[in-house]
């Protein structure tokens, strides 16, 4: 028997990443797959939240949409954009709640989550931490070989950017937070326990 036929060939695996850009008006979701090191867009979604009457209803739809996408695409990992610290405390609080609900849905399905700052995401995609949403979308179109961008909402492209950023940062992730479940989240955030 030929000796070379016994050489171990590694299994070819696929990884699915769900990227989420939390929002209270439009929430963006981008799903990519990585096969043999090649990145490909699987799907992109936006959840339009303007039409819902109150913040509580919006949070329910965010949870439901996140769970639905997880159940449909079975991501191995979820990456979220961390809320930025703005001057409007009420807006930041609402944005943090939207992110928290998406995190809860991911943890409910036992999917590890990682947070990235907006600057880190822009830097990973464009090389410029102060890039515009349009520049990020243009670079994503190039990176993912898209003929045209599949959505008019840049929040949806931001969800895709979070997923791509996570792929680029797989392995050693400095400056981001990862959680593999509720226990892990609580250990890394003891100040959130009452």
Binding site for Mg(2+): what residues are annotated?
Answer: 21, 81, 155
The Cα-based distances of 36 to 12, 31, 88, 145, 166 in angstroms read 6, 17, 44, 16, 17
Q: Name the binding residues.
A: 21, 81, 155
For residue 175, the Cα-to-chain-centroid distance in whole angstroms is 16
Check: CB of residue 45 under 8 Å from CB of residue 69: yes
Told to judge if 81 belongs to the known catalytic residues of this protein, a careful annotator would answer yes
Annotated catalytic residue, options 77, 81, 115, 158: 81
Q: Where are the alpha helices (DSSP H) in 22-88?
A: 55-73
Closest by alpha carbon to 101, among 140, 147, 142, 66?
A: 66
Told to judge if 64 belongs to the known catalytic residues of this protein, a careful annotator would answer no
Annotated catalytic residue, options 46, 115, 155, 158: 155
The Cα-based distances of 13 to 33, 79, 169 in angstroms read 10, 19, 18
Tokens of 94: 């609402």
Annotated catalytic residue, options 21, 77, 115, 158: 21
Residues designated as active site: 21, 81, 155
């Amino acid at each position: 028997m030929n000796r070379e036929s016994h050489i171990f060939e590694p299994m070819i695996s696929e990884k699915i990443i769900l990227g989420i850009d939390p929002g209270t008006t439009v929430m963006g979701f981008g799903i990519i797959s990585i096969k043999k090191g090649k990145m490909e867009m699987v799907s992109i979604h936006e959840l339009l939240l303007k039409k819902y009457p109150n913040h509580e209803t919006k949070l329910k739809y965010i949870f439901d949409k996140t769970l639905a996408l997880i159940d449909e695409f079975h991501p191995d990992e979820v990456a979220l954009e961390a809320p930025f610290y703005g001057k409007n405390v009420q807006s930041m609080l609402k944005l943090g709640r939207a992110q928290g609900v998406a995190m809860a849905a991911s943890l409910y399905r036992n999917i590890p989550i990682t947070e990235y700052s907006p600057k880190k995401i822009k830097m990973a995609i464009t090389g410029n931490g102060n890039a515009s949403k349009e520049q990020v979308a243009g670079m994503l179109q190039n990176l993912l070989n898209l003929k045209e961008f599949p959505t008019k909402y840049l929040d949806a492209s931001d969800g895709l950017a979070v997923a791509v950023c996570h792929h680029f940062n797989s392995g050693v992730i400095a400056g981001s937070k990862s959680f593999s479940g509720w226990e892990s989240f609580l250990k890394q955030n003891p100040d959130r326990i009452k």
